[in-house]
Structure 1
Amino acid sequence: MRLRESFFQRDVLSVAPELLGKQLVRQYEDGRVHYYTITETEAYRGEEDAACHARKGRTRRTEVMYQSGGVVYTYLIYGLYWLLNFVTGPENHPQAVLIRGVHEVSGPGRLGQLLQLDGSFYGESLVTSQRLWVESGKPIGNAPIELSERIGIDYADKIWRAKKWRFLLK
């Protein structure tokens, strides 16, 4: 069953760990449909979070983060890799979950390549998209979830680098 907007319109610190074990579904241009189990996420929470893209306020890049949860935020890093984020929370409270890994691949850049992401996914609804969405998946039960510090945010203040807002399904 496809996740509804209400799932994403909650605080990122609730959504990010609850995405673990969910099925990321991608329908490719040739009609193939693949299901990927989400195994790693990171939370980014608002303008106050010095690691969040919204830390500098509304920009062309971050505009989608100010929408209500349930849309895709993609962006290009190093001119090579499209990263996949899901906007969470209420409108005008910029939050997003970076999808860092699925069972098949680890690392957000590799995931973007696997999913064949590009800038056209920016702002796409996870509820109505025919290319990308999230389904409930199998309950993870008592599967251990590891918490750790976020990766690749050396530019942020120490207090924000120390937040254990990275979630891994073990």
Structure 2
Amino acid sequence: MANPKKLQKLPRSFYSRDSLIVAPELLNKVLRCHDGRAGRIVEVEAYRSDDPAAHSYRGRTPRTEVMFGAPGHMYVYFTYGMHWCANAVCGPQGVGNAVLIRALQPIAGLDLMHAARPLAKNDRQLCNGPACLTQAMSITKLQNGVDLVSGDRYALVDDDVPPPERPVQTTRIGISKAMDYPWRWYVGESLYVSKK
């Protein structure tokens, strides 16, 4: 990873576009925590308000309020009664689009990640799934609504590693609606993807 002082936070304009555009462009960006933990994004899924699998599909609720808010914020939700998942809110405010961050390649602060995920047997298991990466990065409901652009605790940053020219594009994982939408992208050669 580049010198942390030279990392550039993604601007609000990056997130202000449709989630189907933002999602593949998030590949190889870096999710960074204030304590030095960082991981390169290697797998994402897009969700939109006209998508039956999206939380925003049924409209604005207390749970999805952040998803309908300003782009560039973190939308964190609880799933299966035990896991947190982290998303980047996209599109114009009021639309309800987001990109789920599904997997990271750990690149800094691995000792802290292992402490947060004691059951991980190796570095590959630290962040190879949406629930794994939130545990490794200590993301919970307390981070719901965090501003990734102007905040100082979590950020998505660019360290000059471009997205892959030909990311693998597939259907999404673990959903029961809109299962045929090819709105999942991952870095093909990555060993840290949740499922190929």
Task: Compute the TM-score of the two structures, normalised by the length of structure 1.
Answer: 0.90
- 2:19 — aligned with what? 12
Pairs aligned (count):
161
Q: 1:141 to 1:19 in 2, by over 3 A?
A: closer
The structure in which a higher percent of residues are strand is 1
Tell me the CA shift for residue 80 of structure 1.
1.9
- 1:147 — aligned with what? 169
Q: 1:119 to 1:58 in 2, by over 3 A?
A: same
Return the match for 1:83 from 78, 82, 85.
Answer: 85
Return the match for 1:161 from 179, 190, 193.
Answer: 179
- 2:194 — aligned with what? none
One-letter amino acid of the counterpart of residue 11, structure 1: D
Q: Is the 8 A contact 1:25 1:35 kept in 2?
A: yes
Q: Is the 8 A contact 1:143 1:169 kept in 2?
A: no
Q: Is the 8 A contact 2:37 2:137 kept in 1?
A: no
Residues in 2 aligned to 1:144 and 1:55: alpha-carbon distance in whole angstroms: 29
1:1-170 to structure 2, matched below 5 A, reads 1-27=8-34, 32-46=35-49, 48-104=50-106, 105-140=127-162, 143-154=165-176, 156=177, 160-170=178-188
One-letter amino acid of the counterpart of residue 25, structure 1: R
- 1:65 aligns to what SS in structure 2? coil
Q: Is the 8 A contact 2:28 2:163 kept in 1?
A: no
Query: Mind listing any 5+ residue stretches in structure 1 that lack a counterpart?
Result: none
Q: 1:96 to 1:142 in 2, by over 3 A?
A: closer
Tell me the CA shift for residue 68 of structure 1.
2.1
Tell me the CA shift for residue 165 of structure 1.
0.3
One-letter amino acid of the counterpart of residue 130, structure 1: D
- The runs of at least 4 aligned residues of structure 1 exceeding 4 Å deviation read none
Query: Mind listing any 5+ residue stretches in structure 2 that lack a counterpart?
Result: 1-7, 107-126, 189-196
Alignment RMSD: 1.3
